[in-house]
Amino acid sequence: MIRTPEPTSGTSARTGDRSAGSIAGALAEARAAIPVSEARLLLRHVLGHSAAYLAAHCDDALPADAAARFGELVRRRAAGEPIAYLTGLREFYGRDFAVSPAVLIPRPETELLVDLAIESLRGVSRARVLDLGTGSGCIAVTLALEAELAAVTAVDLSADALALARVNAARHSAVIGFVQSDWFEALGDERYHVIVANPPYIRAEDQHLTQGDLRYEPQRALASGDDGLAAIRHIVEASLPRLLPGGGLWFEHGYDQAESVRALLQRAGYADVQQHRDLAGIVRVSGGRLAAQKQNRALA
């Protein structure tokens, strides 16, 4: 439990006694339960101040209400609750996004998916982009801001996720069309230059789902059938008639699924199938373009 400040006399609050309700004392106590870096992050969130402020005011008394809030956050973090859900924010592609237990927490490796989508849109005028399973909207918002003149549509089956994605679009002044849909179901006959997705791709019985942050994230956005490929299989097959001539599909997948997703793309008839490694050297994103014969069939 984090102590609340006690009355001090004279200059005792500034004399280095860091156990008597000071900012430094609160951090020292929290360190027994969670890493100090996480404690600092949570205290910055409670106080609304920067790391520099904490350092400069380490001997200041911590107000009682702030001490109570900080203590509760430390307790929840020590129990395993993700930092992003405790603060309600996560950085992605240099921007802060609101998050909640209704959506997956944005992760750095997903930035590769955005990079590839942006690269594939170079030279495309007024590109049409579809983000499947948008969640927090971090991918859709980033593409709308980084890909000049792109018209971005974001879909999700969850009304709660779409509500949060709209908050993030407004937060960053991104113009996005939002549709509640089970993948392509509510999209009519619309076609796109680029389709991107960070779908569920973990096996339903995978033990990782019971560990770490994954315990708190929405399972429907994580697990996908016995082999983890059910959603990817559907997206690969259903995307073909949704692509404009020369259009491409890019999606994230698991660390051990590269061979399987390459086979899925090739069997479906995608041209120029590519796979790309993240910063850890893991094949993380795969995709391909609509082949010529498939274009003719789709346009017939």
| Amino acid present at 166 | R
Burial degree of 210 (CB within 10 A; 0-12, 13-18, 19+): exposed
pLDDT at 1 over 50: no
pLDDT tens, position by position, 7-25: 333 333 343 444 558 999 9
| Separation in Å, CA 12 to CA 57, 61, 66 | 14, 11, 21
pLDDT at 294 over 80: no
pLDDT tens, position by position, 176-188: 999 999 999 999 9
| Average pLDDT along the chain | 91
| Whole-number Å distance between alpha carbons of 168 and 78 | 28
DSSP string over 52-72: HHHHHTTTSBPPHHHHHHHHH
Q: Residue 295's pLDDT band (boundaries 50, 70, 90)?
A: low
Beta pairing, strands 243-252 & 192-197: parallel
| Whole-number Å distance between alpha carbons of 156 and 15 | 55
pLDDT tens, position by position, 127-164: 999 999 999 999 999 999 999 889 999 999 999 999 99
Question: Which residue ranges make up each domain of the chain?
Answer: 12-79, 101-299
What CATH architecture applies to the domain 101-299? 3-Layer(aba) Sandwich (3.40)
